[in-house]
Amino acid sequence: MAFSQCPEIIHPNAASLVTSVSFRPLFGRPLLSLCCLLGGSILAQPLAPDHDRLQAMVKDHWQHAVATYWSERTGLFYTRPPAELPPASVYISEAQYRCGEYRTTPYKKGDENSVGYNLHGGGTGTEDCSLFTGPLLAAMCDQYAVTGDRSVRAEALRAFQGLKSAATAHGCPGFIARGVCHEDGKSIFAGTSRDQYTNAIYGLWRFYHSGLAEDSERADIRAILCAVADKMTREVTPENNWSFDFAYGVKDDRGVGKMVEKEKLLTLRLAMFYAAAWDVSGKQDYHDRYRAALPDSLAGARAFAKLPAEKIKWSSPPYTVLQNNAAFRLVYDVEKDPTQKAAILDAMALYTDYVAASPHFALARYKSPRDHGEIIGGLLLCPSYAMPAETAAVLREDIRKMWPKGWAGSIFTIIPAYWQARVRGYFATTATPPTDGDQQ
């Protein structure tokens, strides 16, 4: 599947038209017939005078992220400068993990002795590396799709090497670590989560299809995604409470590896993992397992969209929007059957419309640009979503107010949201203006 910079549907009335249109992937060639159906270009917005400057600011944010939070040794982006990360000496050993010699007390600032007993690395700066590095890799794929600039490959490789490290440095097939020790390039905290997996898998899958990855890198991605799928098959069972294990046989301590629950929406992540492995390998077993997980995934999304806001207050923070729609986007793009594809799009659009209208996800409720980036970036992954001017204004303002040296976490989500918006036809610059149904 070839990705390009061409947007698909962003017309306000597009959702009502999708049932009569044959879709191709969002990142494939544009639907010329649909553009004609909607009355010519729906993307030829007047170029605002600040769009070129806005792009320059986003590129500055990227350079700041690389210079400040990226590790050349591991390739991962951390929420602290590498020099401030815990040293290898405080990580608990594999042998201790396997013997159960660890506690789950939280990290205490200034107390390195507490770090080695923290199962998830909370507060250390290593706890969300895969969660952030995955979308940043996808952002570089989007930047290349928009600009066609091959020099973006060097930037994408930074993030790709990081995700490869998170998936292989520890020697546990199918395990994606939250982060990897910057000092020795191999030590990890044994805990992880489906959130880390979701963003990492989406980033790797995007790079696989971006036109930026070479054959050796695609082979690495294939091996990682298949190992993840095999791990899910082995471990996500009723006997294991429908969770996958952490590294070194450590069991899920708080349900963050759970892939099946009564509300069913979590099953969407499981469907995504199998779909990604099937897409890159062609193995029938992965296809069958993906399809087996799909009905509950769609039913879960439809049920979620009927819940009152107070019911989702604690279970659905902003980052779930990006992750759920990344999962939806992947399964939608890899699905080949037109009927199934339409059903996936219908459920994704229902979920997206609910999020866009829900007071729980209203951008004004959240002060952090990180939250804004995860909500906006997630919404933009849905083909039928049209970004309102006020939402675009929030994204623009977040980019501006953090420039020139934004903080970790927030720039890690604002950069992907911006480039996803560019793929969809927003913030067009003089170098890449939108045209009538052709490339921006």
My answer on whether 156 and 97 are in the same domain is yes
Q: Quickly state the pLDDT bin for 116 (edges 50, 70, 90).
A: low
Provide the sign of the torsion angle of the four alpha carbons 204, 205, 211, 213, taken in this order. Answer: positive
Residue 317 amino acid letter: P
Q: Is residue 124 part of a domain?
A: yes
Identify whether the C-beta of residue 7 lies closer than 8 Å to the C-beta of residue 43: yes
The last residue of a domain, from among 326, 361, 396: 361
Asked if residue 316 and residue 183 are part of one domain, the reply reads no
* In a shared domain, residues 296 and 315: yes
Mean pLDDT, the chain, rounded, equals: 88
pLDDT of amino acid 21: 32
Q: Is residue 39 scored above 80 in pLDDT?
A: no
Whether the predicted model's global pTM rises above the 0.75 cut: yes
Please indicate, yes or no, if residue 131 is contained in any of the structural domains: yes
Whether residue 270 contacts residue 260, with contact meaning beta carbons closer than 8 Å, is answered with yes
Calculate what percentage of the chain has a pLDDT beyond 90: 78
Residues 6 or more apart in contact with residue 151 via CB below 8 angstroms: none
Task: Name the one residue in this structure whose structure tokens are 């989702």.
Answer: 312
pLDDT, residue 298, reads 98
Residues 6+ apart with CB under 8 A from 79: 69, 125, 127, 128, 132, 408, 409
Tell me which of 434 and 126 has the higher pLDDT: 126
CA distance 91 to 177: 14
- pLDDT value at 200 more than 60: yes
Do 114 and 251 belong to one domain?
yes
Q: Which domain holds residue 292?
A: 260-271+281-361
Do 245 and 289 share a domain, yes or no?
no
Average pLDDT over residues 217-237: 98
Q: For residue 358, give the 3-state DSSP assignment.
A: coil
Q: How far is residue 410's CA from residue 58's CA, in Å, rounded to a whole number? A: 12
- 250 and 169 fall within a common domain: yes
Does some domain include residue 426? no
Helices (H), 70-104: 94-99
| CA–CA distance, 45 with 305 (Å, rounded to integer) | 32
In a domain, 308, yes or no: yes
Tell me whether residue 196 is in a domain.
yes
Find the range with the poorest average confidence among 12-16, 113-117, 200-204, 262-266: 12-16
Least confident among 17-21, 204-208, 295-299, 414-418: 17-21
Residue 136 confidence class, pLDDT cut points 50, 70, 90 = very high
Both 239 and 290 in one domain: the answer is: no
- Regarding whether 218 and 92 lie in a shared domain, the answer is yes
Kindly compute the dihedral angle of the four CA atoms of residues 237, 334, 439, 7, in this order, to the nearest 10 degrees. -50
* Residues 285, 352 within the same domain: yes
Domain identity same for 95 and 142: yes
Three-point CA angle 28, 226, 148, nearest 5°: 30
* Single residue among 221, 256, 291 that ends a domain in this structure: 256
Predicted pLDDT at 318: 97
CA 425 to each of CA 42, 341, 433: distance values in angstroms, whole numbers, following the listed order: 9, 23, 9
**Residues 305 and 343 grouped into a single domain:** yes
Residue 135 in domain: yes
Strands (E), 214-346: none
Residue 224 lies in a domain: yes
In the chain, the number of structural domains is: 2
Quick check: is 337 in a domain? yes
Closest-CA residue to 316 (of 348, 350, 354): 354
Lowest mean pLDDT among 84-93, 117-126, 223-232, 421-430: 117-126
Average pLDDT on 160-167 reads: 98
For residue range 235-286, list pLDDT tens digits in order.
Answer: 999 999 999 999 999 999 889 999 999 889 999 999 999 999 999 999 999 9
- For residue 118, what pLDDT is reported? 79
Shared-domain flag, residues 186 and 245? yes
pLDDT reading at 46 higher than 60: no
With a cut of 50, say whether residue 43 has pLDDT above it: no
Reduce the DSSP state of residue 243 to 3 states and report it: strand
